[in-house]
Chains A and B, each alone.
Chain A
Amino acid sequence: EAGVAQSPRYKIIEKRQSVAFWCNPISGHATLYWYQQILGQGPKLLIQFQNNGVVDDSQLPKDRFSAERLKGVDSTLKIQPAKLEDSAVYLCASSLGSGAQSDTQYFGPGTRLTVL
């Protein structure tokens, strides 16, 4: 079974530029998550989709971050414009069900973003 795919794996940009990340979840998984992991910290949930609807985006900085999940499959996360503090690893995860208490999340390898 193929895992969660993410691209690119690495990205270096200058502040105020735009960047987009792509995630392809495990086939058949209804729920998709984007996390931000700053160096030395644990991942923090940015947004959760169930199919193509948003379940939780309470920690997404909506003035600069946006995300979409078209047709309930692939997802893109965009930052525009980027700030220095956005330097982090962006992890995508998916789960089979609705994200309920016993639903296991499977993580992709992440995209490491460096903002100069």
Chain B
Amino acid sequence: KQEVTQIPAALSVPEGENLVLNCSFTDSAIYNLQWFRQDPGKGLTSLLLIQSSQREQTSGRLNASLDKSSGRSTLYIAASQPGDSATYLCAVNGGKLIFGQGTELSVKP
């Protein structure tokens, strides 16, 4: 049974810092891994999708990596801004999406 864990559960940083969010999963038989952003009272927005054959994906200030053999993914956010404050969820797709519990990020001005 696939289990997805995200560390830390919450993170508070000053504006401008670079930061890393971590995601680990137990079953490496996946098609892809996605990182989502969730704002309070809103749905999920897909940020990055990494196919199982890929090592990383980049979009603007975001970079996600995938090490399938070790069951790990990281989301790197460069030069964080207050607008980045949200909950970040990773989800692995082995036929259906299995989500981690999320990391709540707060970026202080």
**Binding stretch for chain B, among A12-20, A38-46, A68-76, A80-88:** A38-46
Which listed residue (B43, B45, B52, B100) contacts A42, Cβ 8 A?
A: B100
Query: Who on chain A is nearest to B46 by CB?
Result: A104
Once A42-B99, A42-B101, A104-B49 are accepted as A-B contacts, the answer to whether A4 and B43 lie under 8 Å apart by CB is yes
Contact of A105 with B46 in the complex, beta carbons under 8 Å: yes
Interface residues of A in 20-72 (CB under 8 A from B): 40-45, 48, 56
Partner pick for B43 among A45, A101, A107, CB 8 A cutoff: A107
Q: How far is the CA of A45 from the CA of B95 in the complex (A)?
A: 12
Give Cα distance in the complex from A41 to B52, angstroms. Answer: 25
Contact, CB under 8 Å: A43 / B44: yes
> Does A109 make an interface contact (CB < 8 A)?
yes
Interface size class of B (residues with CB under 8 A): 20 to 34
With the chains together, A91 CA to B43 CA distance in Å?
Answer: 7
Shortest distance between the CB of B66 and any CB in chain A (Å):
14
SS class, residues of chain B in contact with chain A: strand
Contact B97 A105, beta carbon cutoff 8 Å: yes
Contact of A107 with B31 in the complex, beta carbons under 8 Å: no
Contact: B31 with A42, CB < 8 Å?
Answer: no
Q: Distance (Å) between the CB of B1 and the closest chain A CB?
A: 12
Q: Is B65 an interface residue (CB 8 A)?
A: no
Which chain B residues border A44 with CB–CB below 8 Å?
99
Contact of A108 with B93 in the complex, beta carbons under 8 Å: no
B89, A45: Cβ atoms under 8 Å?
no
A45 contact set on B, CB distance < 8 A: 96-97
- In the complex, A102 Cα to B32 Cα: how many Å? 8
Q: Please, which residues of chain A bring their CB within 8 A of the CB of B83? A: none
| Residues of chain B within 8 A of A48, CB atoms compared | 96
Q: List 16 A-B contacts (CB under 8 A).
A: A42-B89, A43-B97, A44-B99, A45-B97, A48-B96, A56-B96, A91-B43, A99-B96, A101-B31, A101-B32, A102-B31, A102-B51, A105-B97, A109-B43, A110-B42, A112-B41
Residues of B within 8 A of A (CB): 4, 31-32, 41-46, 49, 51-52, 89, 91, 93, 96-97, 99-102
